[in-house]
């Protein structure tokens, strides 16, 4: 039933050339149609639109009402799903997943969806987020005699649902949700339906829409629903269960939303695709406003505004518009390098950022540059980028960041590293400026970031403030369950 053919201990990718960017755990997708034509192909194109949320692995599970099949493997959506791989995935209902790991390593045993057989029929689960109490729940499952084969908290979700009491999957989910503490936007495949579930705090996005030929789709971002031609798009509300059964959709408020919601502000800063909508806001427009606020707060005497492509382009447009400094391209990104399986030579590794970016000397020579980036995490990329601009002839480089300094780890589905890896947790802004070699460095304040989002509350900003919306308990790394299943 599981089409993964590689050894369980093979690790995905020798290294990333984008280690200084925060990594979102994944994207999820669910589809239910009354006609069953091309459901796996629809899932493929939906996942393709969510590729930016995870490039380590991808998977699709499909049910025809009686039997479920899954295909999943390491790699990008376009390489995992060939026509031959999609052909056996026939049915009416499907869920899919693109993965970047935050709990559990990148080994193949952790690739989603997880598919199991239960006394109530087949069950497949995929999710975006992170449970802060996954360790306690995992220990409880082990004490009850469950055998665990993976080190991902998605397996915890799956086994808890498989063992839950209740007449329907909706009842089993509702009974189990109070035990889950943390972030989860989840899709669940049963024999005859797809269910979508969002945590009471609303950490991670999840939206549902009507397919043009009948049926429904649910996805982490509205850009995937738009790719599928969906209309009547709306958010899955915090604490809500949405059931998709062919031509029918049912909504159920399973648990009360948290008194204070905790939507992830980083979805606007970096993660979401610019054409997505979330919290009734267009991501691209918010990013432009981030740039405008940055120009108001931290202007610079300069000749040109240059973005670090691609996520910083809207903010650079906003900064240019507000400041009156012309916008131009100064860095060209190799969009195909992604996560490579080929280990670079030492000489190439030393070139680092030059493997991913080339500088446009004709636009930079003799220019005072404002370099716009969305975030500065470990500080491993900013310095080489500044040096690349100087080598191309820039006379000054003033770096501007569209969010506050990241000083604390995220425990809700974003891999930013721990405090000892975050450069802003260890150094002042002036020390960071000296470290990266910029003429000046400034970060957007939290107040102005929230002004750009047009909200004064309801968002999680713990990575900037250290004020977590829920008790995170004992903090452990993403490989916290790897000790036994090595």
Q: Give the domain CATH number at 343.
A: 3.40.50.2020
Look at residue 186 and tell me if it is in a domain: yes
Q: Alpha helices, DSSP H only, in 324-428?
A: 346-351, 361-364, 382-391, 423-426
What's residue 334's pLDDT?
Answer: 83
Q: How confident is the model at residue 318 (pLDDT cuts 50, 70, 90)?
A: very high
What's residue 2's pLDDT?
Answer: 39
Q: How confident is the model at residue 414 (pLDDT cuts 50, 70, 90)?
A: confident
Segment 115-149, tens digit of pLDDT = 999 999 999 999 999 999 999 999 999 999 998 88
pLDDT greater than 50 at residue 9: no
What DSSP character marks residue 187?
Answer: E
Q: How confident is the model at residue 15 (pLDDT cuts 50, 70, 90)?
A: very low
Look at residue 355 and tell me if it is in a domain: yes
For strand 440-443 and strand 396-401, is the pairing parallel, antiparallel, or unpaired? Answer: parallel
pLDDT greater than 60 at residue 168: yes
Mean pLDDT (whole number) for 334-353: 63
For the ranges 23-37, 158-172, 243-257, the lowest mean pLDDT is seen at: 23-37
Q: Where are the beta strands (DSSP E) in 33-181?
A: 57-63, 68-74, 93-99, 114-118, 121-131
For the ranges 147-151, 166-170, 186-190, 207-211, the lowest mean pLDDT is seen at: 147-151
Q: Which of 228, 262, 296 is the last residue of a domain?
A: 262
* Residues 166 and 40 occupy one common structural domain: yes
Q: Percentage of the chain surpassing pLDDT 90?
A: 79
Report helix angle 153-163 to 169-176, nearest 10: 120
> Which positions are catalytic?
26
Mean pLDDT (whole number) for 94-100: 94
* Residues 305 and 251 occupy one common structural domain: no
For the ranges 9-13, 201-205, 269-273, 367-371, the lowest mean pLDDT is seen at: 9-13
What's residue 23's pLDDT?
Answer: 54
Look at residue 480 and tell me if it is in a domain: no
Nearby residues of 226 by Cβ (< 8 Å), 6 or more positions away: 49, 233, 275
pLDDT greater than 80 at residue 20: no
What's residue 385's pLDDT?
Answer: 96
pLDDT greater than 80 at residue 486: no
Instruction: State the DSSP string of 188-228.
Output: EEETTEEEEEE-TT--S--EEEE-TTSSEEEESSHHHHHHT
Alpha carbon distance, N-terminus to C-terminus of the chain? 24
* Residues 220 and 308 occupy one common structural domain: no
Q: How confident is the model at residue 22 (pLDDT cuts 50, 70, 90)?
A: low
Q: Which of 205, 232, 262 is the last residue of a domain?
A: 262
* Residues 339 and 205 occupy one common structural domain: no
H helix or E strand, kind and range, residue 465:
helix 462-465
* Residues 455 and 308 occupy one common structural domain: yes
Q: Which residue has the tokens 């000397």?
A: 361
* Residues 314 and 227 occupy one common structural domain: no
CA atoms of 274 and 259, how far apart (whole Å) = 29
Strand pairing partners for 96?
29, 60
* Residues 258 and 281 occupy one common structural domain: no
pLDDT greater than 80 at residue 474: no
Look at residue 272 and tell me if it is in a domain: no
* Residues 324 and 411 occupy one common structural domain: yes
Neighbouring C-beta atoms of residue 109, cutoff 10 Å: 18
Instruction: State the DSSP string of 419-445.
Output: GGG-HHHHS-HHHHHHHHT-SEEEE--
For residue 134, the domain's CATH number is 3.60.20.10
Look at residue 66 and tell me if it is in a domain: yes
The number of domains in the chain is 2
What's residue 19's pLDDT?
Answer: 55
* Residues 284 and 246 occupy one common structural domain: no
Strand pairing partners for 210?
216, 231
Size of the chain, expressed as the number of residues it contains: 486
CA atoms of 23 and 14, how far apart (whole Å) = 16
* Residues 255 and 145 occupy one common structural domain: yes
For the ranges 11-15, 61-65, 387-391, the lowest mean pLDDT is seen at: 11-15
229: containing domain? 15-262
- Spatial CA neighbour of 60 closest among 207, 159, 52, 45: 45
Q: Quick check: 384 and 439 in contact, CB under 8 A?
A: no
pLDDT greater than 50 at residue 457: yes
Look at residue 10 and tell me if it is in a domain: no
What's residue 415's pLDDT?
Answer: 79
* Residues 37 and 152 occupy one common structural domain: yes
Mean pLDDT (whole number) for 93-100: 94
What's residue 349's pLDDT?
Answer: 63
What's residue 364's pLDDT?
Answer: 98
* Residues 289 and 388 occupy one common structural domain: yes
Look at residue 367 and tell me if it is in a domain: yes
Q: Alpha helices, DSSP H only, in 184-300?
A: 222-227, 266, 283-297
pLDDT greater than 90 at residue 4: no
Segment 433-452, tens digit of pLDDT = 999 999 999 999 999 999 99
Look at residue 117 and tell me if it is in a domain: yes
């Amino acid at each position: 039933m599981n089409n993964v053919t590689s050894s369980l201990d093979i690790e995905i990718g020798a290294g990333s050339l984008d280690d200084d960017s925060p990594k979102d755990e994944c994207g999820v997708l669910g589809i239910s149609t009354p006609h069953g034509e091309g459901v796996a192909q629809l899932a493929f194109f939906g996942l393709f639109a969510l590729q930016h949320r995870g490039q380590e692995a991808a998977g699709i599970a499909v049910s025809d009402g009686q039997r479920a099949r899954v295909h999943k493997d390491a790699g990008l959506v376009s390489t995992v799903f060939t026509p031959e791989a999609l052909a056996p995935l026939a049915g009416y209902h499907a869920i899919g997943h693109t993965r970047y790991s935050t709990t559990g390593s990148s080994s193949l045993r952790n690739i989603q969806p997880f598919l199991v057989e239960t006394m109530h029929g087949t069950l497949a689960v995929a999710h975006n987020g992170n449970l802060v109490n996954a360790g306690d729940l995992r220990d409880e499952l082990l004490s009850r005699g469950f055998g665990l084969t993976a080190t991902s908290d998605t397996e915890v979700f799956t086994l808890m649902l498989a063992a839950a009491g209740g007449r329907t999957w909706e009842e089993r989910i509702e009974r189990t949700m109070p035990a889950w503490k943390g972030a989860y936007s989840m899709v669940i495949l049963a024999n005859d339906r797809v269910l979508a579930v969002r945590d009471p705090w609303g950490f991670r996005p999840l939206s549902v829409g009507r397919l043009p030929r009948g049926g429904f789709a649910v996805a982490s971002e509205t850009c995937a629903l738009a790719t599928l031609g969906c209309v009547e798009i709306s958010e899955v509300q915090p604490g809500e269960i949405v059931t998709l059964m062919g031509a029918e959709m049912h909504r159920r408020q399973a648990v009360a939303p948290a008194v204070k919601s905790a939507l992830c502000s980083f979805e606007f800063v970096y993660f979401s695709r610019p054409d997505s909508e979330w919290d009734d806001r267009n991501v691209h427009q918010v990013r432009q406003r981030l740039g405008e606020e940055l120009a108001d707060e931290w202007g610079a005497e300069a000749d040109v505004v240059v973005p670090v492509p691609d996520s910083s382009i809207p903010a650079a447009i906003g900064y240019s518009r507000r400041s009156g400094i012309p916008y131009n391209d100064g860095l060209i990104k190799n969009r195909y390098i992604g996560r490579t399986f080929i280990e670079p030579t030492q000489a190439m590794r030393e070139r680092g950022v030059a493997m991913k970016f080339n500088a446009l000397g004709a636009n930079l020579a003799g220019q005072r540059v404002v370099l716009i980036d969305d975030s500065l995490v470990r500080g491993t990329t900013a310095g080489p980028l500044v040096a690349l601009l100087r080598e191309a002839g820039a006379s000054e480089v003033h770096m501007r960041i569209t969010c506050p300094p990241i000083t604390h780890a995220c425990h809700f589905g974003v891999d930013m590293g721990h405090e000892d890896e975050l450069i802003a947790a260890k150094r002042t802004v002036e020390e960071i400026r000296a470290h990266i070699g910029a003429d000046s460095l400034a970060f957007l304040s939290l107040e102005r970031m929230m002004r750009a989002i047009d909200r004064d509350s309801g968002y999680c900003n713990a990575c900037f403030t250290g004020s977590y919306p829920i008790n995170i308990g004992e903090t452990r790394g993403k490989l916290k369950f790897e000790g036994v299943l090595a």
